[in-house]
Amino acid sequence: MPDDPDLVALEAERTRLYADLGRVGDFRRGTLSAVFRKCGKPGCHCAQPGERGHGPQWNWARWAGGKTVTAHPRPGPELDKAQREAGEWERFRALTGQIEAVNEAICDARPPLAQPGDPAPGTQGQKRGSSARSSPRRSRPGPPPR
C-alpha cells in the first residue's frame, strides 16, 4: 500500500535529505583539532600553573592507507579552508546517517510485493502433498549397486 501516510512522509523526508546532500560543499574526511603543548623550559610562560601551553597548533588527522596522516594548516586562509571542509565533512556524515535511518524505516514500512509464481496468500507454510511420481525416501542409504 504505497499510499500509507507514514510511508509517504518517510519518502518525502528521504527526498528532502537527498536534496540537502546535493548542497553539501567541498569536504575532506578527518578531524580538525587545536592542540596546545608545553615546551619544557622552566622559565617559559607555559610552565606556569594553570597555563595551557603554546598554541593552538591545528592538526588535521585522517586515516589513509592503514595509517593516520596528519597535516598542520596555518592560521589564516589555510585554516579557514580546513575548518569549512571539516564542517562540511561533519554535515555529510550527519546527512548520510539520517538517510540510512529513513531508508531503514521505509524498508520496514513498505509491504512485500508478490512475485509471479509465488503461492497465494494464506497458503504459505502449508503442506501441498507430493506428486504421484515422487519416489519414497529411505531413512538411510541402501547397499551400493552391483
Chain segment 44-91, per-residue pLDDT in tens = 999 999 999 999 999 999 999 999 999 999 999 999 999 999 999 999
* Cell numbers linked to 142: 541402501
Alpha-carbon gap, residue 97 to 126, rounded angstroms? 41
Higher pLDDT, 17 or 140: 17
Quick check: 5 pLDDT over 80? Answer: no
Mean pLDDT computed over 24-33: 94
Alpha-carbon gap, residue 16 to 103, rounded angstroms? 13
